Each structure stands twice: as C-alpha cells, then as structure tokens.
Amino acid sequence: MKEVIKIEGGHALKGTVRISGSKNATVALIPAAILANGPVTIVGVPNISDVESLAVLLRDLGVDVCFKAQDHIIIDPTHMQNRPMTQDAVQKLRASYYFMGALLGKYGRVEMKMPGGCYLGPRPIDLHLKGFEALGATVNYEHGAYIIEAKELVGTKIFLDISSVGATLNVMMAAVYAKGRTIIENAAKEPEIIDVATLLNKMGAQIRGVGTNVITIDGVETLGGCFHEIIPDRIEAATYIVLAAAAAEEMTVENIIPQHLESLLSKLEEIGVEMKVDIDKVTIKGRNPHLKATDIKTLPYPGFATDIQQPLTALLTQAEGQSIVTETIYTERFKHCHELNKMGANINVMVPSSFINGPTRLSGAEVVATDLRCGACLVIAGLIADGITEISEIYHIDRGYENLDGKLSALGAKIWRETIA
C-alpha cells in the first residue's frame, strides 16, 4: 500500500495563500536551541515531517519538547544528556547534522551516524569536519559513525572552500562556546543563517557580520533561553508564486519577505509574468499564454536558489522558445526533467544544464517525486496538465511543504490523496 497525491488539471486557481515559517531555518534553529541552558520558545514552526523527526532526536537526548498552539515549539534542554546519535531517525534527515556543531560546542564531544535526506548528488560534510578540526577537535569515523571530540575548542580563522550553508551554521554553533574569537571567511549569506544567528544572539551569543561573507563569533561562557519567531519560508513562497504564474487567474501570496525573492521575481518579470509586489505579499496574474523562454544559473544567495529551479522548470515548459537551466550547486538535480517528459514536456538534460523546449502541452501521467522540490515541480505540472496526474513517493513533499493539498484546495485546485495497492 502506498499513498499518492492525485491532481485533476485545468482548474484555474484564485484567492490568497499564507506562507509558513521557513523549513530551512527551522531545521537549524531546533538543533541550535539545545545550546541554551534554559527553555527556548520558537514561533512559526511549519507542520512538516522534518520537524517531527527532529523532535524524536531531541527527546532521545533527554530534551523536553512541547508543541503549543498550532506553530509554537518549546525546547527545554535543562535535563539534556549527550548520548550517541546512532538511531535510524538520524539517517532520514540531512539536517540532523546540525546536532554535530551544537553538541560539540556544548559538550566537546559528539558521536553521530552519517546523516541522510534527499539524494541530490554528492553533498559531502568534509567542510563541516575541517571547520571542527580548525577549532581544535579530532574527527574519527568508526562503525558507520563520526566521533568528534575536543578537550577545548579554541577560536580561530576558518576559510570555507565553498560558501556552504550547512558548514557555516555548523561551525557557528560549535564556535559560540569556543575560547576567544572565531572568524568564518567565505561564509554563506542565506537569510536562514541570519535567522539562526539572531536566535543565538538572543540567547546571549556574540555573533556579528551575518549576511556578509565574514562572520565573527566571540565565545561566551553560557547561553540562556529566549523567544524567537521564524522568518517566512522563501522557497515555499517561491513555489506558490511560480504555481500562481502557471495556474492562477489571480492569486495573492502573503507572509513573504520580497527581498529574499528578488532573483526569482526579476526572472518572472523578464519572462512575462504580471505581478504587484507589496511590503509582505505579492499578487500574481497568471496563465499568460505568451511567456518568453529564459536562461537561469543557480548560485548561492543572493543568486538564483537551486531549490527554485525545479518548480520553475514546470512553468518554463509553457514558455515560447528554449530555456536553459544551469545547475552549479547540486549537479544531479535534474530527476524532475525525466518525470516532466513523461507528461509530454520536451526537455533534454546534459549535466550541468537542462534545455527546455516550449511551449508543450502537458498530460496527466503517473510520476514519482524523487525529492522534495521535484515533488513541488510535479504538483505545478499536474495543475496545468490535461487529465489526472498521480504523484507517488509523496513523503518527500510532506518533508518540506505544510498542508500543500489543503492550501491548494482552498485556492480551487482539484487535489486529493489516495492509498493504493
């Protein structure tokens, strides 16, 4: 038995959708909260399966986790114990690696299985490990688990070969309790990093320079509890904006930070999507039959986000001419193209680029969500296709999108779940 999402295409969407708190910030904020010595309340937590997985890991460490109201989580690490993180839940979730930096920072030792997540090609954690070693830790790999330990972590200058979000956050968490000053050069600038640093500073950390490529961290002796509200999810916002351009008469996407979406909004304008951007929302007039093809190259923030290229590809199948998407972050991120071709798209993949020839008429088909953003891409394709699209492996979608089918139904989509043999 498996659960699938089915979509009947061709229904014009209309209305307003509210964006949830950032998934990519949440999965780092929750591990960061264990650095405190008192309760941390986080508001705006999206109701996604990754949060459930993190709550399981926290409870295994003896952390009290309490979900209040719809989107509040209270994390109390007062009775926490530094236990080995070798359970299967670690391998379900790539973001579990943030416990490496947090536990190393707090206890000077962490034992952990190799983390999992969506397969998007090689995503090595050697940058994280090099950062920990620079702070004075030793790293050993035994029986499928990393053992990272240090008698004392000492601040130093660390240059990241790639401006990796994960490595920036992990080194930042390890360094908050380190002795002296740590400087991270070529740091990533994503909004989620600013959000995590804001939480840590509220707890009493001394972190400066986030949002630039040089972050300075002065180690402190203790961190206390605090209250924090998560930023809106820029990738969920981008997904609904692209979805509106593809399938809506008129749709408003609210609870966004437009500045976080500049690379997408300017690209949509260029291809002919009509939009009105306000302080915290954007209204899109969609279904333009004369969209123009474009070229996109994914880059670290503030460049075009790799997470958005897959949903956008579904829209580009409707644009006139050949669009080229070049992927510089995760070179394997083209599995969605094969699925779109099953629906009638005309896409050629020559890694690291895909060549999308349009416009093509899409027809409903049985397709597979090979990863989280591929799932979002196929939902958009299903909304504009003739007939019924059946998407399997939908647990990927539930990892990152809160109540996707509920939000779309409220906008007029014909979307439902079925359990099939």
Give residue-wise pLDDT tens across range 174-205: 999 999 999 999 999 999 999 999 999 999 99
* Mean pLDDT, residues 94-99 taken together: 88
pLDDT at 143: 86
Q: Give the domain-ending residue among 229, 253, 283.
A: 229
What confidence tier does 119 reach under pLDDT thresholds 50, 70, 90? Answer: low
- Percent with pLDDT over 70 in the chain: 98
Count the domains in the chain. Answer: 2
Domain boundary among 208, 229, 250: 229
329 is in an annotated binding site: yes
Q: Which residue has the higher pLDDT, 77 or 331?
A: 77
108 and 194 share a domain? yes
398 is in an annotated binding site: no
Q: How far is CA 316 from CA 189, 254, 270, 380, 417, in A?
A: 28, 24, 12, 11, 27
Q: Give the whole-angstrom CA distance, residue 72 versus residue 95.
A: 20
Binned at pLDDT 50, 70 and 90, residue 248 comes out as very high
Please say if the pLDDT value at position 122 is more than 60: no
Are residues 220 and 349 located together in one domain of the fold?
no
Q: Report whether 125 belongs to an annotated binding site.
A: yes
> In 176-261, where does DSSP find H-type helix?
191-203, 234-247
How far is it, in rounded angstroms, from Cα 301 to Cα 230? 18
Q: Residues 160, 30: one domain? A: yes
Specify whether 206 is located in the same domain as 350: no
Query: Does 124 appear as a known binding residue?
Result: yes
Q: Are residues 259 and 365 in the same domain?
A: yes
pLDDT of residue 92: 74
Mean pLDDT score of the chain, rounded to an integer? 95
Confidence at residue 298, expressed as pLDDT on a 0 to 100 scale: 97
pLDDT-derived band at 113, boundaries 50, 70, 90 = confident
Asked whether residue 220 falls in the same domain as residue 243, the answer is no
Is 123 annotated among the ligand-binding residues?
yes
Tell whether 181 is in a known binding site: no
Give the C-alpha separation, 129 to 42, whole Å: 28
- Judge if 64 and 187 occupy the same domain: yes
| Per-residue confidence band for 408, with pLDDT thresholds at 50, 70 and 90 | very high
Predicted local distance difference test score (pLDDT) of residue 114: 75
Same domain flag for 135 and 264: no
pLDDT at 118 over 60: no
Which residues form the domain of 207?
23-229
- Residue in 300, 302, 352 with CA at minimum distance from that of residue 163: 300
Shared domain for 77 and 221, answered yes or no, is: yes
Active site residue 337: no
pLDDT at 161 over 70: yes
Is 34 among the annotated ligand-binding positions?
no
Question: Do 34 and 150 fall into the same domain?
Answer: yes
Per-residue pLDDT at 88? 79
Among 164, 198, 229, the domain boundary falls at: 229
In this structure, are 331 and 248 located in the same domain?
Answer: yes
> What's the pLDDT tens digit per position in 255-282?
999 999 999 999 999 999 999 999 999 9
Q: List, for residues 130-159, the tens digit of each pLDDT value.
A: 999 999 999 999 888 899 999 999 999 999
Angle between helix axes 126-134 and 165-175 (nearest 10 degrees) is 30
- Of 118, 226, 337, 374, the catalytic one is 118
Q: What is the pLDDT of residues 4-51, one digit of tens each?
A: 999 999 999 999 999 999 999 999 999 999 999 999 999 999 999 889
391 and 255 within one domain:
yes
Q: Is 127 annotated as a binding residue?
A: yes
Q: What is the CATH number of the domain that holds 302?
A: 3.65.10.10
